[in-house]
Amino acid sequence: MGASTVLLCGVVLIHLFASQTDAQRPRSPWKTLSGDAPRVISRGGFSGLFPDSSLDAYNFALQTSVADAILWCDVQLTKDGAGICFPDLNMSNASTIEVVYPKGQKTYPVNGVPTQGWFTVDFSLKDLNKVYLIRGILSRSDRFDGNGYTISTVQTVNTELKPRGLWLNVQHDAFYAQNNLSMSNFLISASKNVSIDYISSPEVNFFTKIAGRFGHNGPVFVFRFLEKETFEPTTNRSYGSILSNLTFVKTFASGILVPKSYVLPLDDKQYLLPSTSLVQDAHKAGLEVFVSGFANDVDIAHDYSYDPVSEYLSFVDNGNFSVDGVLSDFPISASASVECFSHLRRNATKQVDFLVISKNGGSGDYPGCTDLAYDKAIRDGADVIDCPVQMSRDGKPFCSHSIDLSNITNIAQTSFAQRSTHVPEISSNDGIYTFSLTWSEIQSLIPAISNPYRVYNMFRNPNEKKSGKLILLSEFLKLAKHSTSLSGVLISVENVMYLRQKQGLNMVKAVLDTLTETAYSTRITTTKVMIQSTDSSVLVEFRNQSKYETVYKVEKTISDISDSAIEEIKEFASAVVITKVSVFPTFYGFVTGQTNVVERLQKSQLPVYVELFQNEFVSQPYDFFSDATVEINSYVTGAGVNGTITEFPFTAARYRRNKCLGSKETLPYMAPVQPGGLLEVVSPASLPPAEAPNPVFTDADVPVSGSVAGVVMFLVLLSLFLCYLWKRETRQRQQNLKSLIPLKHYSYAQVKRITKSFAEVVGRGGFGIVYRGTLPDGRMVAVKVLKDSKGNGEDFTNEVASMSQTSHHNIVSLLGFCSERSKRAIIYEFLGNGSLDKFIAGNTLDWTALYQIALGVARGLEYLHHGCKTRIVHFDIKPQNVLLDENFCPKVSDFGLAKLCEKKESALSLLDTRGTVGYIAPEMISRVYGSVSHKSDVYSYGMLVLEMIGARNKEKAHQDSTSNASSIYFPEWIYRDIELGKSRRLIEDEISNEEHELAKNMALVGLWCIQSSPLDRPPMNRVVEMMEGSLDAFEVPPRPVLQIPIAPLQEPSTLSRDISVYTEE
């Protein structure tokens, strides 16, 4: 067993690693063929986390699954006849074989199709000892790839792990037979020492070979169905045709393995269609039915609301049938579904007590704060439904999760769009605010469902994306009162002082009056009322005028909370809301530990509610295995929170009823994760840099409570201390930055020595001046000294944090930094040829050089977007930010506007529009083009490429234009001439055919990249393919349209505009 496997066994990722218990199977009758519970089959082990077929993956599957879980091994044969567990015939996808044997690629016919790759038949088992297993699905973590997982034989898996069940899948018997290797002989020989429980294959002829050769107590034979249109190689019949004759299948197999769609098909919108009769028909024929394709981190039917447990239950416990087993990459979820959540009644006894609080109602399934969202939350079992109160111009309080209507409705597409205004007290962006419209005007708007992970092409319930209507607070309260299942309501109030002082709207009075009008102020109703705010003065005001429970929301992420802060909070609040990360801090997608914030608050009799829980797997750290139920379990059972605030109340409400929480012993698939445990198994070389600790919440963070007048006085006094607080926070931020970034830190005095007191200026930009410098070891460096600090230094932090995580041929290498009070500097490699803009303007590079530069920049951006664990979006691609070394190799630089985009983060909700006008994407400015994402960089790249082309012929274009040169929109010129077949005229006369092809290729790629809609732009990995391909490989894109001003702005070139949009998916 490898060192990493030993390490894994020693790490308590789940509290029950130490013991495996035989759980009592549910007594409820199963509608399987045998009447027993469905089997859990782990494909390649726990392959959703660890490299497929690694010993750690297999071991982890056994430790986190039901006791009789079956290990699945895709058997491949080496050229010396050894049987290994590897997920594919071609080894290039999930191993390091390309690196170890770069010349080992060959082409073989596989089912009649010539296939190129690295095949097991060309390597002996000894050869493969040098090859390591790595992730095979790029969307999964690569942090375990460096652990040196060796390829295991079938015998090794059996000997090392001793599984209770072993399933061998033979996918390509015919291929091995063509190469003079016998899979059947291997299996017969292996069965003498290995207990094989199941053998599957999609080839009928294979079962003919092995029929009768295993004896009476041999393995169960399972025929594997591929897609219905695919032809089975030996019968030359489609699998769909074979499916219609299950009696034939029964002659050589005891079971069938089918894709999910064979049982529960989907329509073209990813919604479930009525189930087929396959399971019942197969059972009638005496065949067990196993289903493949279960993985928590792939798209599933919208009907399941991104909840993998719901999907499993639809196959094993739907009231009509139950499949006999599920093949899963995440066996912990399959195990919990079968053992804990099957046969649960909606009125089953709660096994654990905590509040399920909705976030904007059931906003994971309907537009938030609409009547349908609230109905959904109540039906799904929420204890408390919430109403974030906003005020209309005519003083009507209503429920809306944003004061800016452009975030949540189609208002940008209506005549009300002209009411956009800038309110710095609320946002740095312009907005169309609720207090600018009357309630009747607001009622005319169409609400929009929230899609926080649109950048991952994950959309919520598209069929209902514009359903429902916004409702008044009074309607909300009446709805809650008439519900027999709700225990309370949570009314959130923000921006109270601004609305009162600047708009003449008294939100506190409006809320209290509405509560009185709906009889909540009397003892008649038992529904509890909670008032939530981030403003203590508002909570004080409610306490002074009512007896409703008050809840203080801590917006910032904290690592601890002081006793004095807790005492302050207790003066005006009876409960606290904190973020998830304030309980389990995360970094690079992994939980790093657990704070004591919950424990400290609860010791002071303050219940703790945690937000925000979402079902999409990208919202969760890897530690929770892409399963919202695992995450909820860890917060409730592990951290002991008093309530969860969720956009998907059903998942949390169902969790409370699961049978396993009532077990005397904690079962491994229902144990909270050990915080930070998974990081201990990460390859040391892949560990993320040390993270700066989150701040401690102190009494300085809590406004002094008292009367409203007292609060106003406090705010006046507080201004006297702003300078002190700013200095204190600056010192803390500098200390945090040093621990965050694993690079050499230079003092300001050292920076002065390196630059010889800033003697030689080599460049200027929007954020500072670049000087030439020399390190003590003689290396030439560039030193960017930022302008004296303003704000919180976000630009500096972004640049250093972004560049410190990169290592690529086309990205400038960061060597160190300085952060000393207001003095900040970045030290990076010196590139003698300077920036690209001077070469573009001077027309000194030929087309081959320009093409190589454009390709290099594309590769650099591809790395930032797709090659880093945490995607980096640059937001300011332009010629001035592309530096050239002595060989004219381009390197992307200046990360001052970059944004790190962790998977748990939504689609780049920016406070400011970022970038340089002329290169900035339209969605960064306008409300109608789409969401800001990595595709914004693609647009800037396209403009960069077109600038490289157009700048060579500005004079020629100008001569053709009827306007002055400053108004020429070069994409339009380039497109027009390509469309007319005159690309040589605008690109350049008197160049060779080869250069013309390069230039035209660049032009077409650039035009594709600047499409108005981000959805129409190719991602950077596709851009690289297009740049490297031929002109015949892609079509001429649609005509570009001038979307934004192209005249330069004074630096810094950032715009403060609202980027929220209402779009059609």
| CATH number of residue 779's parent domain | 3.30.200.20
* Range with the poorest average pLDDT among 39-43, 150-154, 230-234, 764-768: 764-768
Closest among 289, 490, 450, 293 to 365, alpha carbons compared:
450
What Rg do the C-alpha atoms of the chain give, in angstroms? 31
DSSP label at residue 352: S
Same domain, 511 and 591: yes
Could you give the CA distance from residue 951 to residue 840 in angstroms, rounded to a whole number? 6
Q: Residue 479: pLDDT above 90?
A: yes
Which amino acid, one-letter code, is at 552? Y
Same domain, 845 and 821: no
pLDDT band at 1057 (very low <50, low <70, confident <90, very high): very low
The backbone torsions φ and ψ at residue 761, rounded to the nearest 5 degrees and listed phi first, read -85, 130
Summarize pLDDT for 995-1046 with one digit per residue, the tens.
888 888 888 999 999 888 888 889 998 899 888 887 666 677 887 665 443 3
Same domain, 763 and 629: no
CATH number at residue 636: 3.20.20.190
Q: Residue 16: pLDDT above 50?
A: no
Q: Residue 1063: pLDDT above 50?
A: no
Could you give the CA distance from residue 611 to residue 664 in angstroms, rounded to a whole number? 30
* Range with the poorest average pLDDT among 47-51, 401-405, 724-728, 763-767: 724-728
Could you give the CA distance from residue 438 to residue 441 in angstroms, rounded to a whole number? 5
List Cβ neighbours of 315 (8 Å cut-off, separation of 6 or more).
Answer: 38, 260, 263, 264, 291, 322, 323, 326
- Long-range contacts of the stretch 513-519 (C-beta < 8 A, 24+): 514/397, 514/473, 514/474, 514/477, 515/477, 515/546, 515/548, 517/474, 518/474, 518/477, 518/478, 518/481, 519/481
In which element (H, E) is residue 751 found? helix 748-754
Same domain, 217 and 242: yes
* Range with the poorest average pLDDT among 370-374, 867-871, 886-890, 942-946: 867-871
At residue 80's C-alpha, the angle toward residues 76 and 86, to 5°, is: 20
- The answer as to whether 480 is a domain residue is yes
The backbone torsions φ and ψ at residue 587, rounded to the nearest 5 degrees and listed phi first, read -155, 130
- Rounded mean pLDDT of 106-113? 89
List Cβ neighbours of 726 (8 Å cut-off, separation of 6 or more).
Answer: none
Summarize pLDDT for 65-109 with one digit per residue, the tens.
999 999 999 999 999 999 999 999 999 889 999 999 999 999 999
- The answer as to whether 109 is a domain residue is no
> Rounded to a whole number, what is the largest CA-CA distance in the chain?
91
Before 1038, cis peptide (omega within 30)? no
Q: Residue 38: pLDDT above 50?
A: yes
- The answer as to whether 20 is a domain residue is no
Could you give the CA distance from residue 340 to residue 305 in angstroms, rounded to a whole number? 19
Could you give the CA distance from residue 841 to residue 847 in angstroms, rounded to a whole number? 14
- Give SS3 for 222: strand
The backbone torsions φ and ψ at residue 694, rounded to the nearest 5 degrees and listed phi first, read -70, 155
Same domain, 300 and 383: no
- The answer as to whether 169 is a domain residue is yes
- The answer as to whether 928 is a domain residue is yes
How many structural domains compose the chain? 4
Q: Residue 913: pLDDT above 60?
A: no
Query: 794, 829, 864: which is the final residue of a domain?
Result: 829
Parent domain of 159:
36-90+133-339
- Rounded mean pLDDT of 811-831? 85
Closest among 600, 631, 601 to 615, alpha carbons compared:
631
pLDDT value at residue 765: 66
pLDDT value at residue 705: 38
- Give SS3 for 601: helix
- The answer as to whether 761 is a domain residue is yes
Query: 283, 307, 339: which is the final residue of a domain?
Result: 339
- Long-range contacts of the stretch 865-868 (C-beta < 8 A, 24+): 865/934, 865/937, 865/1019, 865/1020, 865/1021, 866/138, 866/1019, 866/1020, 866/1021, 867/808, 868/805, 868/806
Same domain, 742 and 867: no
Average pLDDT value over all residues in the chain: 84
Residue that wins the pLDDT comparison between 831 and 700: 831
Could you give the CA distance from residue 771 to residue 758 in angstroms, rounded to a whole number? 6
- The answer as to whether 890 is a domain residue is yes
Summarize pLDDT for 928-942 with one digit per residue, the tens.
667 778 888 999 999
Residue that wins the pLDDT comparison between 367 and 587: 367
pLDDT value at residue 944: 92
- C-alpha dihedral sign at 981, 982, 983, 984: positive
- C-alpha dihedral sign at 151, 157, 160, 163: positive
DSSP label at residue 231: B
CATH number at residue 877: 1.10.510.10
- The answer as to whether 368 is a domain residue is yes
- Give SS3 for 113: strand
The backbone torsions φ and ψ at residue 998, rounded to the nearest 5 degrees and listed phi first, read -60, -45
CA–CA distances in Å: residue 1034 to residues 610, 973, 982, 1029: 49, 20, 19, 9
CA–CA distances in Å: residue 942 to residues 125, 742, 837, 998, 1020: 48, 34, 15, 15, 11
* DSSP-assigned beta bridge partners for residue 696: 560
Q: How many CB atoms lie within 10 A of CB 928?
A: 15
Same domain, 647 and 790: no
Q: Residue 896: pLDDT above 80?
A: no
pLDDT value at residue 903: 35
pLDDT value at residue 969: 55
Same domain, 858 and 801: no
At residue 162's C-alpha, the angle toward residues 158 and 166, to 5°, is: 60
Active site residues: 876
Same domain, 884 and 985: yes
Same domain, 594 and 734: no
**Does the annotation flag 465 for ligand binding?**
no
Same domain, 149 and 70: yes
Q: Residue 10: pLDDT above 80?
A: no
Summarize pLDDT for 520-564 with one digit per residue, the tens.
876 667 889 999 999 999 999 999 999 999 999 998 999 999 998
Find where tokens 């919520």 sit.
460
Could you give the CA distance from residue 669 to residue 297 in angstroms, rounded to a whole number? 18
Same domain, 371 and 325: no
Which amino acid, one-letter code, is at 724? Y
